[in-house]
Amino acid sequence: MIRVLVVDNSAFMRRRISDILNTDKEIEVIDYAKTGSEAIKKVVQLKPDVITLDIDMPDIDGLTALQYIMSEIPTPVIIISAYAAPGSTNALKAVELGAVDIVSKPEGEISYNIDVLEKDILNKVKRASKVNVKQAQDVMNRLMMRRPAESEKVAASLKHLVVIGASTGGPRAIKEVLPYFSADVSASFLLVQHMPPDFTKSMAERLNWSTKIEIKEAEHGDVIKPGCGYLAPGNYHMVVGRNKDEAIICLHQGPKVSCVRPSITVTMNSAVEFFGNRVIGVLLTGMGSDGAEGLKNIKKAGGVTLAEDESTCVVYGMPRAAIEANVVDKVVPLFHMGIEIMKYIRE
């Protein structure tokens, strides 16, 4: 049984969410909490397998409670809130703090029609129960304890193009990899995270605070420069184009690939056309198989292909698909991925 703690300020919503969860024979609601402080106490006492957590609550709000839970008692958390719409600051903050998934209430804080999301809620709770958040949190703690390595002098010219792709669990994974790159690194970074529109700009801004390289949401026509990272905007494929002798960013809304846009494979394939064996392809945590075909083409061109090890993935889908296709040069745990990428950049 998947033991779930339901946390919500509204008695009606606690009851309705519990009713939905209890329709599935694999799920058991073990208790409720109506405030953030009560939720923390019950997580410590009951050690649930999954928590559903509202954001707007008295005394301690949901995001503060989430931060404490993930640092002290790491447990898979699904945010169910009216204040975490796709693209919102709260939604991105929740993902960064460690929430496995988010459900946006359809009619505000008291959603009488929450039943329309029954299938979505059940699927996300089951998926969350399989996520090893403790391991992911341990990785983040180790990163925070490290002293940043001294910046090394590297050539200012663009020697490598690094394409990093991620999906579920990706914002935190990407945030962990980026601090290893110095401002004068001789590579540029294309970042593809499966996210809806209006979400990626905020993510790029937050990433920019935590790394020495310059991160921005990509714009059509951006010149690809060393020491810079470009995050694909939601609902746009990001490809490498040419303007005379310069590599530039081109954005388009062509058909979805592997059911997604932006697609990691689309970006990787275009990178190979311009940079050939100077491309380093990286697949991090995520559902599905996007990126496997892209790594295949990078490997075929003589570039380097890396995938995150299962032990640190929130969801092992994309790396597994690439590994099973025999297109990965090296499988690397997340806390070594930045070091590994730098090793190839220096060669």
312 C-beta neighbours (distance < 10 Å), count: 24
Distance CA(196)–CA(235), nearest Å, equals 6
Which of 182, 194, 237, 270 is the catalytic position?
194
- 71 annotated active-site: no
Q: How far is CA 286 from the centre of its chain?
A: 7
Q: Which two tokens stand for residue 200?
A: 């990626």
Q: Catalytic: which of 18, 81, 167, 289? A: 167
Q: Which of 8, 49, 101, 290 is catalytic?
A: 290
Strand order in the sheet with 77-81: 27-33, 2-7, 50-53, 77-81, 101-104
Distance CA 196, CA 37 (A): 32
Known catalytic residue at 198: no
Q: Please give the structure tokens belonging to residue 283.
A: 């697949």
Count of other CB atoms within 10 angstroms of residue 117 = 18
- For residue 132 the two structure tokens come to 């090893």
**Region of residue 291 (phi > 0: left; psi between -120 and 50: alpha; otherwise: beta):** left
Which of 139, 147, 155 has the alpha carbon at shortest distance from 179?
147
**Is 194 assigned a catalytic role?**
yes
The residues assigned a catalytic role are 167, 194, 290
